[in-house]
Structure 1
Amino acid sequence: MPGRSVVVRKAGWIASGAAAVLVATGGITYAVTQGDGSADTPSADSADAGFARDMAVHHQQAVEMSFIVRDRTKDEDVRLLAYDIAQTQANQRGMLLGWLDLWNLPKVSSKPPMTWMDMGGMASGEDGALMPGMATNTEMEKLRKLSGKQAEIFYLQLMTDHHKGGIHMAEGCVERCEVKVEKDIAQGMVNAQESEIGLMSDMLKERGAKPRS
């Protein structure tokens, strides 16, 4: 299959890039703890805290979807992509929650998700979709029941939507957050997820499908 090696190379490049970002930012926790000169410790209602809380939840669903599809298909390209996404977002989630601990801030808020982006009233949480791009409970259950090519296509479509929502949130942090290292990581999320959206579009095309939006 001509496109297969291209997909593998692109997936490997994205994974290597993500790993490099994590290695290069090994001092991020220290920088956030000690301060980088750009901001004081964020408040509980700040964009910095809101992004950390909300993106941790957003990432958790991506990790869950990725592990589901790895059990529902034997396609090595999809399994590799799912593994890369799960590992990268699990690591980033741990970092986001770690920042909240270091800032002595709660990991949950009484305010609706996305309030830090002035979108609290828009995040209805209908059927479990708490934030932009998140899959509903019904969609997650459907993914668990599919297998083979059908599972691959549905996962790629769900993850494309998920990444688009994540990019919107990360761009919000780049614009609103005050802690420089957090802004830098948010921009890294934008760059990596835009690349993965392109890869997933190619993978969907190979399977005779396309993104849902």
Structure 2
Amino acid sequence: MKVLRKLLYCIILALFFPLTGYAEEIVPEKEQIEIIFVIDSSGSMKTNDRSGIGIDMVQAFIDTMQTQGIRIGYVAYNNEILSYSAPETIETTEKRKRLKDQISSITYSGDTDIGLGVSHACELFSEKENTRRIMVLISDGETDLSAGSPRTEAQSSQELDYCMNWCRDENIPIYTIAFGQYDGSIAVLKKIAEETKAESYSGKCRRGLDRNPLRHFPE
């Protein structure tokens, strides 16, 4: 949990500050930030994230993030959209609690439609001026839909490609955190990050974190 929370800090720091940045400087005075967490809530996550670390990680981030100038939202998806919240401020205890309660109610079940989840997140971003928009996708990998699904995997893939192109054009990085164990699944998440000029990390490994400014955050 400690490593994953630091990982999210590093994602934000990497966008705005050099290695000498400090935690209290995360939000520039004149620029707002919108962050949407896209949470894979499919049944396969029961195996790949048995302890619900992905959900706990988002809640810890909400608790520890400074409040001014930041709006946070989320999308929980499997083969459909389970729940979501457009980016909103977390300036009060009540707002933090409401958002955390929504996220804590997420359970893992069903198939996986990454294109659907990412597409819905794209629709939730505002068009406010002077706002930096960031997406963080937490997943175990590839789209996996049953034969009876109203959508095909090809349709999901096409929608995901469209969203990646749109995010790249809009300068919205999609950082990915992979809980999957298979090379093919991890490759999908790496591609999403690379196509949107972001980075992909393993939710089960510290590798690659040491180069980030972890020293500025409490243990």
TM-score, normalization by structure 2: 0.31
Highest relative contact order (Cα 8 Å, sep 6+), 1 or 2? 1
Specify the structure having the higher radius of gyration (Cα).
1
Which structure's residues are more often helix, by fraction? 1
